[in-house]
Amino acid sequence: MADLQAIASQVRRDILRMVHAVSSGHPGGSLGCADLLTYLYNERLTLNASSFTMDALNEDLFFLSNGHISPVWYSVLARSGFFPVEELATFRKISSRLQGHPSVDKNLPGIRMASGSLGQGLSVAIGAATTKKMQGDDSMVYCLMGDGELQEGQVWEAAMYAGSKKINNLIGIIDYNNRQIDGDVSDVMGIMPLSDKWTAFGWDVYHMDGHSFDSMREVFATVDSNKSNGMPKMIIMKTEMGKGVDFMMGTHKWHGSAPNDEQLATALAQLPETLGDY
C-alpha cells in the first residue's frame, strides 16, 4: 500500500510551488483537500490513468465542483500518472493544459468537465451516475464541493433530485472548512444545519476527518456497506484550510492568494520532499 502521508506531503509542495510560480491560484482549499485526493486516487478509485477515456466505462468518476482548488487535483493527477509531473510547471501559464480552473478544452487527461463557476458539479455527477446505471456499469461517481459553494441554488436542485430519484451510485463530499473568500462561511452566509439539510433531502450522511486516512478508510467502508440502501451518500469532511503550513491555517487569507519567495521557503520547510519536486 502506498505511503499516503508521503504522497500528500509532496502534493502540498507541488501546490505551493505551482501557485507561487504564477503568483496566483488558490492554495488554501487545495492544501485542505490534499489528503482526500491523495487517498481517493491512490487507494479508493478504480481508474485507468495510463489510457484516459472521456467515457470511462467501468471506471469510477471524480468531479471537482469547486474548481478553484485545481492545484491539488493537477498534482494528484500528475502523481497518479495521468500526465507528466513536469507539466505542473505550466500551471496558469499561456497555452497550458493546466488552466486556472479545470477544463476539457485543452484535453488534459483526468478531467471530464470544466468547473470553476460554482454549484454545477453535483448536477453533472448525477448525469454521469445516471448513464452508468443505464449501462449496467456499477462503478461509482464522486463529487467534491466546497462548503461555501453550497450557497449556490443549483446545488439544492441537484440535492433534491438525487434524493428523490435515489441516485445510489453517487458519493458527494463537502470540504467543510468553514472558510470562503470573504471570511468564515458561518458569517458570510450560514449553511447550518448541514447534516440535517442533506438528510432532509434524502441523502445518507456521513462525517469524516479530512486529515485522517484512518477516518477516510473507516467512513468509506461504512459507505460501501450501506450501498444497498438506495440513497445517495454525502460525506461532510472536516478540514482545515491551509493544512500543512502553519501560517496558512486558521484564516481565510490564503483562500486565493499565493505565497511570496520568503513565505514559500517557510512553507516548504514544513513539508518534506518525498517524491521529488517537479
Partner 1 sequence: MALKTFGNKDTRSGFGEGLRLLGETNPDVVALCADLTGSLKMDAFQKNHPDRFFQIGIAEANMIGIAAGMTIGGKIPFTGTFANFSTSRVYDQIRQSVAYSRKNVKICASHAGLTLGEDGATHQVLEDIGMMRMLPNMTVVVPADYNQTLQATLAIAAWDGPVYLRFGRPSVPIFTPEDAVFQIGKADLLVHGTDVTIIACGHMVWKALEAQVQLADKGISAEVINMHTIKPLDTEAILSSVAKTGCVVTAEEHMMNGGLGDAVAQVLSKSSPAPQEFVAVNDTFGESGTPNELLKKYHLETTDIVQAAERVLARKN
197 Cβ neighbours under 8 A, 6+ residues apart: 159, 191
Q: How many CB atoms lie within 10 A of CB 146?
A: 29
- Residue 132 touches partner 1, criterion: CB under 8 A: yes
Q: How far is the CB of 164 from partner 1 (least distance, A)?
A: 8
Is residue 107 a contact partner of residue 94, using CB atoms and an 8 Å limit? no
Strands (E) in 95-182, as ranges, are 141-146, 170-176, 179-180
Question: Which of residues 78 and 113 has its CB atom nearest to partner 1 in the complex?
Answer: 113
- Residue 134 touches partner 1, criterion: CB under 8 A: yes
Binding mask 37-56 for partner 1 (x = CB under 8 A): -----------------xxx
Q: How far is the CB of 40 from partner 1 (least distance, A)?
A: 18
Cα dihedral 117→120→122→124 (10° resolution): -120
Of residues 6, 49, 109, 161, which one binds partner 1 by CB under 8 A?
161
Size of the residue set binding partner 1 (CB under 8 A) = 38
| CA neighbours closer than 13 Å in the CB half-sphere of residue 121 | 30
Q: How far is the CB of 113 from partner 1 (least distance, A)?
A: 5
- Residue 157 touches partner 1, criterion: CB under 8 A: yes
Question: Which of residues 44 and 132 has its CB atom nearest to partner 1 in the complex?
Answer: 132
Residue 234 has which C-alpha cell?
Answer: 454525502
Q: How many CB atoms lie within 10 A of CB 2?
A: 11
- DSSP letter at 146 equals E
Of residues 81, 100, 109, 127, which one binds partner 1 by CB under 8 A?
127
Segment 226 to 255, residues that bind partner 1, using CB under 8 A: none
Q: Which residues bind partner 1 (CB under 8 A)?
A: 54-57, 61, 63, 103-105, 112-117, 119-132, 134-135, 137, 153-154, 157-158, 160-161
